Structure 1
Amino acid sequence: MKILLIEDEPELRNSIKQYLEPEGNIVEVACDFVQAEQKIALYDYDCMLIDITIPKGSGLDLIKQIKRKHLKAGIIIISAKNSLDDKVYGLDLGADDYLPKPFYLPELNSRIKALVRRKNFDGDTEINFNEIKVLPDERRVLVNNDYVNLTIKEYDLLLYFMANKNRVVSKSALAEHLWGDNADGFNNYDFIYTHVKNLRKKLLSKGCEDYLHTIYGIGYNFKTCE
């Protein structure tokens, strides 16, 4: 999962990042309004954690921009401003959730997972597609009820493909989703081919239908219909 954390308090920012990354997430950070604007303009995210009171602008104005651009990312407001008016206004602008500071990091993590499930998989705690079953809370994948031993990147690839069924996904989009801003420094995306090939091989070995198709010169398609 790719997350943008917009928070100006260094200690809290580092705590959130250090907690979420071992869960298999890519966490990019922005310390102020200008940095956040730049990242939102350049990259796609599954979830954005937005503080209302940030330097050089307002988190509420960022939410307005996100909604004007019709971005798919889920939005959770994390803010010490806990007045009812701020909460209601943020939700009315299009935020999906509001978590007042101070909060427990496990609760934040649970809310992020629940939000992404709602956005991409109708809120299901168990994601089923034909013979494929994904248990996000356990980061486990089963095919025909047989466990598939996937690496972190392979698991993230599968979940991304399943959330984008029947869409052509470019190699650059896959690289950005799996490696965050670091993907900008890659000379090529040949390594994507290796990860997709290994994922496909492991799924097929368990009797899975061959849903992964290469679109030469562009990327891949998790094709589930003719």
Structure 2
Amino acid sequence: MKILIIEDEPDMLQNMVTSLEKEKYRIETATNFNDALDKIGIYEYDCILLDISLPGGNGLDILSELKKLQKTDGVIIVSAKNSIDDKVAGLNLGADDYLPKPFHMAELHARVKSVLRRKKFEGSHEVILNNVTIDPESHAVKVNGKELPLNRKEFDVLLYLVTNKSRLVSKTALAEHVWGDQIDEADNFEFIYSQIKNLRKKLKDSQAEIEIQAIYGIGYKLLAE
């Protein structure tokens, strides 16, 4: 799962990054309004943690921009401005939750997991596709009840394809989501081909009743008939 933290307070930002990375989320950050606009315009995220008071603009305008772009990223407003007006405005603009500062990291984790379950997995703790069960929180995959060992990238690739089941996912979108904005430094997509190849073999060998279909020159689609 890929999370964008939009926060300008260095200590708060670092604490959030460190804490969420321990939970195996892929984290990207923006520390001002313009950088945040650039990020949401280029990339997609599973969840955005959004401060309202930002250098260069108001976080509520970020919500308005997400709405204009028809983005479906989950959004949790994380702000020291704990006024009812800000909360109502944020929720009306499409935010999924509102967490006032200060807060315990355990509560942040719980809020993030809740939003991800609602937005990506229809409120469930597990995703079940035929004989395959995926637990996003524990990063566990089982086929016919037997654990399927996957490395971190293989799991991330599978989960992203699962959350976009039956949709064509471009190589670029897959790379950006799983590898983050560092993908801009890559010369080619060989690293994706390698992960997909290994993942497809493991699924086939375990007799998983799902298939990753390659669309030549474009990307991939997960099929679960």
Amino acid at match of 2:2: K
What SS does the aligned partner of 2:124 have? coil
Cα distance in 2 for residues equivalent to 1:110 and 1:132? 25
* Whole-angstrom CA distance in 1 between matches of 2:193 and 2:109: 31
1:24 is displaced (CA, Å) by: 1.9
Aligned pairs (5 A) from 1:22-33: 22-33=22-33
Q: Which runs of 4+ in 1 moved over 2 A?
A: none
Partner of 2:209: 209
In structure 1, what is the Cα distance between the partners aligned to 2:74 and 2:32?
19
Normalised to the residue count of structure 1, the TM-score between the two structures is: 0.96
2:126 pairs with 1:126: yes
* Cα distance between partner residues in 1 of 2:152 and 2:158: 10
* Residue type of the alignment partner of 2:100: P
> For residues 62-92 of structure 1, what are the alpha-carbon distances to aligned partners after superposition, in whole Å with 9 as ceiling and x for unaligned?
1011011110200000001111111111111
Measured in 1, the distance between the counterparts of 2:91 and 2:145 equals 40
Residues 5, 30 of structure 2: 8 Å contact kept: yes
* 8 Å Cα contact 2:129-2:224 kept in structure 1: no
CA distance in 1, matches of 2:39, 2:193: 26
Query: 2:91 aligns to what?
Result: 91
Tell me the equivalent position of 1:53. Answer: 53
Whole-angstrom CA distance in 2 between matches of 1:180 and 1:78 = 22
Hey, what's the Cα distance between the residues in 2 that align with 1:210 and 1:125? Answer: 20
The share of aligned pairs that are identical, in percent, is 49
Paired residue secondary structure (1:24)? coil
Q: Which runs of 5+ in 1 are unaligned?
A: none
Q: Is the 8 A contact 2:74 2:96 kept in 1?
A: yes
Deviations 1:179-205 (A, max 9, x none): 111001100001101101111111222
For 1:1-226, what aligned pairs fall within 5 Å after superposition? 1-225=1-225
In 2, Cα distance between equivalents of 1:106 and 1:149: 28
More off after superposition, 198-207 vs 61-70: 198-207
CA distance in 2, matches of 1:110, 1:76: 12
Q: TM-score, normalized by length of structure 2?
A: 0.97
Q: Partner letter of residue 108 of structure 2?
A: L
Q: In structure 2, the residue corresponding to 1:172 is in which secondary structure?
A: helix
**C-alpha separation between the residues in 2 aligned to 1:72 and 1:43?**
12
Q: Which amino acid aligns with 1:102?
A: P
Which range moves more in the overlay, 203-212 or 161-170? 203-212
**Corresponding letter in the other structure for 2:132:** I
Following superposition, the deviation at residue 137 of structure 1 comes to: 2.2
| Deviation, structure 1 residue 22 | 2.7
How many angstroms apart in 2 are the aligned matches of 1:114 and 1:160? 18
Kindly report the root-mean-square deviation, in angstroms, between the aligned alpha carbons of the 2 structures: 1.1
- In structure 2, how many angstroms separate the alpha carbons of the residues matched to 1:94 and 1:86? 12
SS across alignment from 1:221: strand
- Count how many residue pairs are aligned between Structure 1 and Structure 2: 225
SS in structure 2 opposite 1:123?
coil
Residue pair 1:168, 1:221 contacting (<8 A) in 2 also? yes
